[in-house]
Amino acid sequence: MAIKAVFFDIDGTLLNDNKRVEKATVLAIKNLKEQGILVGVATGRGPGFVQPFMDNLGLDFAVTYNGQYIFTRDKILYQNQLPKSLIYRVIRYAGDKKREISLGTASGLVGSGLIEMGTSTFGQIVSRLVPKKLTKTVENSFKKIIRRIKPQNMDYLKTIMREPVFQIVLVATEGEGQKLRDKFPQITITRSSPYSIDLISHGQSKIKGIERVGDIFDFDLDEVMAFGDSENDMEMLTGVGIGVAMGNGQDELKSIADYTTDSNNRDGISKALAHHGLIHLDPEEGFKSRDDNFNKAKDFHLLMDGSVNHTPRLYSITEGGNRANFKVEEIVEFLYAASQGDHHDFTQSILNLHAAVDKAAQKVQSKPHPETPLVGEVDALTDILYFTYGSFVLMGVDPKPFFDIVHEANMGKIFPDGKAHFDPQTHKILKPDHWEDKFAPERAIKKELDRQIQKSLQRTQ
């Protein structure tokens, strides 16, 4: 499918462990935006935390507080406050259970010093280093340290709750999640940290927020690529067209993602975007064409072959024959589609094709060829491109989205061993067993065709 929007979780995804955006990620976002692909974040963080990234990276929109507060750089698109009565009950629960608690307002999280430490750079690094089985021990130790410094003031929170509150963050072990769901059935509970949980309105989530943005900016969920690393990213990664788990992400998230990339400290975002053809790899040598489709095909061969040619060279008759055969197979598929399944018409079209080949061979051999063989190959391939574009013109079809769809499908031809496999004689890239189920482009092509047909009908009304 053609990707129209990309969303990033923030902590552990858009940010490395030093709370900075990798240089390669900044360049990747710039590249996406130059192509007209929308870019945003989907996070449990609040708008106050996210705003600097919106400005510095030129992001188009932000889904914050797990879908409760959505905005662009110049306006609020959606906000959903938690009921005051519910906030009050949760504050009382936290006081009775001696649980640290923070309230998420438009300006940021207010309340617990422990939660503030947990969401800091130091806290995020520590949480990644601590084994899962020691989470409760570390949590209890943090609580004792914070309370010795400054006990939490619940009365202050009751004052803060006069403002709109979009999310509640509560220190809680993983085992307490179900108890809280039973006690507060009108809320959704999600977790982005092993030490705390996020409480939002029932039915809200990152994926719901992305869906709302899509309704406004005219894209569907299957036209979205999303990146994440934590439990609260699971629904988002399974609900979009391409869900990418970071290499530093939770194992459970990796098991359900469409693709697992490198870590947040090793350019995981840019590597995944390049793998799926949304940005181009930049080899140290060689050139970048002004033809974006050429660059995508080059990325494909870099991924599959590991190398490409940077200096014009001539195809041998064997290699050239193999390349021509690939095209003939597509021509035969084209004729079969044109015959609309009629066996007689298809058979006759193949006979006509054989006759056309014989006629073309006679024509080519009957005229002089002052051009060099390299010029002849380039001239013929360019004519094939021109004829193909002309065919699209006469069909009334915009080919760009379909090229992107087929490119993304081709980028999925990596086998489970992490490598491309080739036909030993023709060197044609083979399809892994799962390719038809996960990457075959026909469904996405049909959807895009339906969209173009509907758009053309609207123009004629």
Same domain, yes or no, for 192 and 211? no
Among 273-287, 360-374, 447-461, the least confident range: 273-287
Q: Which of 4-18, 118-132, 328-342, 446-460 has the lowest mean pLDDT?
A: 118-132
First and final CA of the chain: distance in angstroms? 28
At residue 149, the pLDDT reads: 45
d(CA 193, CA 409): 35
Q: Are strands 101-104 and 109-111 parallel, antiparallel or unpaired?
A: antiparallel
- Looking at the 3D structure of the chain, how many domains does it have? 3
Residue 115: band (very low, low, confident or very high) from pLDDT cuts 50, 70, 90: low
Higher confidence at residue 137 or residue 282?
282
pLDDT in tens, 283-317: 555 678 889 889 888 888 877 776 678 889 899 99
3-state secondary structure of 391: helix
* pLDDT at residue 214 is higher than 80: yes
DSSP notation for 113-176: HHHHHHTSHHHHHHHHHS-GGGHHHHHHHHHHHHHHH----HHHHHHHTTS---EEEEE--GGG
Whether the predicted pLDDT of 120 surpasses 80: no
Task: Let me know whether 41 and 94 are in one domain.
Answer: no
Domain boundary among 200, 229, 251: 200
Instruction: For CA atoms 360, 365, 366, 368, give the dihedral sign.
Output: positive
User: How many angstroms from the chain centroid is the CA of residue 427?
Assistant: 30
Write out pLDDT tens, residues 334-345. Answer: 999 999 999 999
Residue 110: give its domain's CATH number: 3.30.1240.10
Report pLDDT for 460.
77
Is residue 298 a part of any domain in this protein?
A: no
| Mean pLDDT score of the chain | 86
pLDDT at 358 over 90: yes
The predicted structure's pLDDT at residue 140: 54
The pair of three-digit structure tokens given for residue 449, joined into one six-digit string: 């065709």
| Range of the structural domain that residue 120 is part of | 84-200
Neighbours of 206 (CB within 10 A): 29
Residue 43 pLDDT level (bands cut at 50, 70, 90): very high
From 25-39, 76-90, 269-283, the region with the lowest mean pLDDT: 269-283
Check whether residue 98 and residue 169 sit in a common domain: yes
- Distances in Å between the Cα of 326 and the Cα atoms of 56, 255, 329, 426 are 46, 35, 5, 9
Task: Report how far apart, in Å, the C-alpha atoms of 100 and of each of 90, 94, 155, 333 are.
Answer: 11, 7, 13, 64
pLDDT at 180 over 50: yes
Among 40-54, 75-89, 229-243, 426-440, name the one with the lowest average pLDDT: 426-440
Q: Within this chain, do residues 76 and 89 fall inside the same structural domain, yes or no?
A: no
Is the pLDDT assigned to residue 159 strictly greater than 90?
no
Structure tokens at 151: 């006990």
Judge whether 304 lies within some domain.
Answer: no
- 428: pLDDT strictly greater than 50: yes
> What is the pLDDT averaged over residues 346-372?
94
- Indicate if the pLDDT at residue 274 is higher than 60: yes
441 belongs to a structural domain: no
- When pLDDT is cut at 50, 70 and 90, the band that residue 396 belongs to is very high
Cα 101 to Cα 168: distance, rounded to the nearest angstrom: 7
The pLDDT of residue 128: 47
Model pTM above 0.75: no
At residue 282, the pLDDT reads 62
Q: Clarify whether residues 76 and 215 are in a common domain.
A: yes
CA distances (Å), 308 to each of 2, 220, 283, 285, 299, in order? 25, 35, 10, 10, 9
> Looking at residue 162, what is its pLDDT?
87
pLDDT greater at residue 99 or residue 265: 265
The number of residues making up the chain comes to 461
Name beta bridge partners: 63: 42, 70
One domain, residues 182 and 233: no
Is a pLDDT exceeding 60 seen at residue 101? Answer: yes
113: confidence class by pLDDT, cuts 50, 70, 90: low
The verdict on residue 230 lying in a domain is yes
Supply the pLDDT for residue 236: 97
Q: Which of the listed residues 353, 378, 403 is the one where a domain comes to its end? A: 378
Residues 190 and 163 in one domain: yes
In this prediction, residue 246 has a pLDDT band, given cuts at 50, 70 and 90, of very high
The closest alpha carbon to 377, from 442, 283, 290, 313, belongs to 313
Are 94 and 178 in a shared domain?
yes
Residues 71 and 219 in one domain: yes
| DSSP code, position 249 | S
| Residue 311 located in a structural domain | no
In 262-414, which residue ranges form alpha helices assigned H by DSSP? 268-275, 292-305, 317-338, 343-366, 373-395, 400-410
Q: Are 60 and 301 in contact (CB under 8 A)?
A: no
Give the CATH number of the domain where residue 229 resides.
Answer: 3.40.50.1000
Give dist(CA 444, CA 24) in Å, integer.
Answer: 30
The structure tokens 């094709």 sit at 353
Amino acid at 126: V
Mean pLDDT calculated for residue range 1-16: 92
Q: Is 452 exposed, middle or buried (0-12, 13-18, 19+ CB in 10 A)?
A: middle
**164 and 211 together in one domain:** no
What pLDDT score does 254 carry?
Answer: 93
- What span, in angstroms and rounded, lies between the C-alpha atoms of 153 and 158? 9
Buried/exposed 308-331: b ≥16 CB within 10 Å, e otherwise = eeeeeeeeeeeeeebeeeeeeeee
**Interval 113-131 mean pLDDT:** 51
Q: According to the model, what pLDDT value does residue 152 have?
A: 67
Residue 51 scores a pLDDT above 80: yes
Lowest mean pLDDT among 163-177, 256-270, 279-293: 279-293
Residue 386, pLDDT > 70, answer yes
**Mean pLDDT score, 158-185:** 85
**378, 412, 427: which is the final residue of a domain?**
378
62 in a domain, yes or no? Answer: yes
> Is residue 410 a part of any domain in this protein?
no
Q: Which of 278, 294, 270 minimizes the C-alpha distance to 411?
A: 278
- What angle is formed at CA 6 by the lines to CA 265 and CA 50, rounded to 5 degrees? 65
Asked if residue 411 belongs to a domain, the reply is: no
Do 155 and 99 sit in the same domain of this protein?
Answer: yes
pLDDT for the residue numbered 243:
95
Do 143 and 188 belong together in one domain? yes
Sheet containing strand 109-111, strands side by side: 109-111, 101-104, 167-171, 196-201, 187-193
Which amino acid belongs to residue 149?
I
Q: Which residue has the higher pLDDT, 180 or 446?
A: 446
The band of 124, judged by pLDDT with boundaries at 50, 70 and 90, is very low
pLDDT in tens, 219-243: 999 999 999 999 889 999 999 999 9
Query: For position 129, what pLDDT does the model report?
Result: 45
